[in-house]
Amino acid sequence: MFRPINTNGNEVVKMAQETAAETGKQPTMKRTVKDSVFANLFTDTKYLIKLYRALHPEDKKTEEKDIENVTIKNILTDQPYNDLGFRIGNTVLLLLEAQSTWTVNIIVRILMYLMQTYNDYCSENGLDLYGSTRVKLPKPELYVIFTGDRKDHPEYITLKDEFFGGQEVAVDAKVKIIYDGQPGDIINQYVTFTKVANDQMKKHGKTRKAVEETIRICIDEDVLTEYLKEREVEVMDIMTALFDEEEVSRRYGIRMQRENSEKIAKNLLAKGQMSIEDIADCTGLSTNEVEALSELALA
């Protein structure tokens, strides 16, 4: 999953405009820039019910109308939405996140997500947590769909094992890691889609061509075919916008790093205790660049 650095909105727009001027292309910072294919796919309950059935094949009674999407909009972070929450009536609450990079920190994130979702549930249903009557909560299930290299990663990860050496703790969380799903189910198709996309990015870079080829190959191989045919334009927008934002953020990061290096160099020059060469070594600037800053300070 792409994770842009935190950037000021105006700076990102400015950098997008500069990138567009350099490449001759119009910037594609769209409304969907914070979406992901994962989130977009499961906004539709006809795919959400398929996801639930992949997780609970034993449940033959639950229908599409029984599902409520309770995904929390991720408005406070500069990362694509890759979270999903949905409830089956008032009995089961399922929280998922799709990840391509392995990190046990997902346990903490999903636990915080669970608490926020429970808070919203209690508020919406008028549940009195300060009363003497025990409130009824939907049973939580926590999942991560991992699309990276499985290696020796486990089937489950827990808060107590990963953060507290297996000691008993007051609060624990158990997260099931899903790697492939069952052949042909919606999870397996989504994972296959991500692998095809990664292969095409290796061949074509993070370009529109890579997206076009990903969609073409998946449709040919009957992977998310209905979804991709219905929402081809949206998928193109989502993926190209994320590529563009990643490039903008990369350039912004380089600029900020250089500005910080120059600031440090100026401070060291002002103290007059280090040579030009030593300042260059400390900041990553060239000796010519440090000399130019020195001359500018003396001007």
Q: How confident is the model at residue 1 (pLDDT cuts 50, 70, 90)?
A: very low
For residue 269, what are its two tokens? 């020059």
| Side-chain half-sphere CA neighbours of 75 within 13 A | 2
Q: Residue for token digits 């993926």?
A: 239
Q: Any idea where the domains of the chain sit in the sequence?
A: 35-179
Q: Residue for token digits 């120059």?
A: 262
Q: What is the pLDDT of residues 55-102, one digit of tens each?
A: 999 999 999 999 999 988 654 444 445 789 999 988 999 999 898 889
Give the Cα separation of 236 and 156 in Å (integer): 34
- Quick one: angle between helices 186-204 and 45-55, nearest 10? 110
State the average pLDDT over residues 93-122. Answer: 92
Range of 2-11, 66-75, 144-153, 191-200 with top mean pLDDT: 191-200
Give the Cα separation of 124 and 49 in Å (integer): 23
Does the pLDDT at position 172 exceed 60?
yes
Mean confidence (pLDDT) of the chain = 82
Q: pTM to 2 decimals?
A: 0.70
Give the Cα separation of 134 and 143 in Å (integer): 27
DSSP 8-state code for residue 5: P
Q: What is the pLDDT of residues 231-290, one digit of tens each?
A: 998 898 888 776 655 544 455 455 677 778 888 888 888 888 888 888 888 888 888 888
Q: How confident is the model at residue 35 (pLDDT cuts 50, 70, 90)?
A: low
Task: Find the Cα–Cα–Cα–Cα dihedral 51, 54, 57, 61, rounded to 10°.
Answer: 10
Phi, psi of 168 (to 5 degrees): -65, 130
Q: Residue for token digits 């998946």?
A: 218
- Quick one: angle between helices 276-283 and 287-298, nearest 10? 120
Q: What percent of the chain has pLDDT over 70?
A: 79
- Furthest C-alpha separation in the chain: 80
Q: What percent of the chain has pLDDT over 90?
A: 52
Residue type, 108: V
pLDDT of residue 252: 47
Does the pLDDT at position 192 exceed 90?
yes
Contact assessment for residue 215 and residue 238, using Cβ atoms and an 8 Å cutoff: no
pLDDT of residue 4: 33
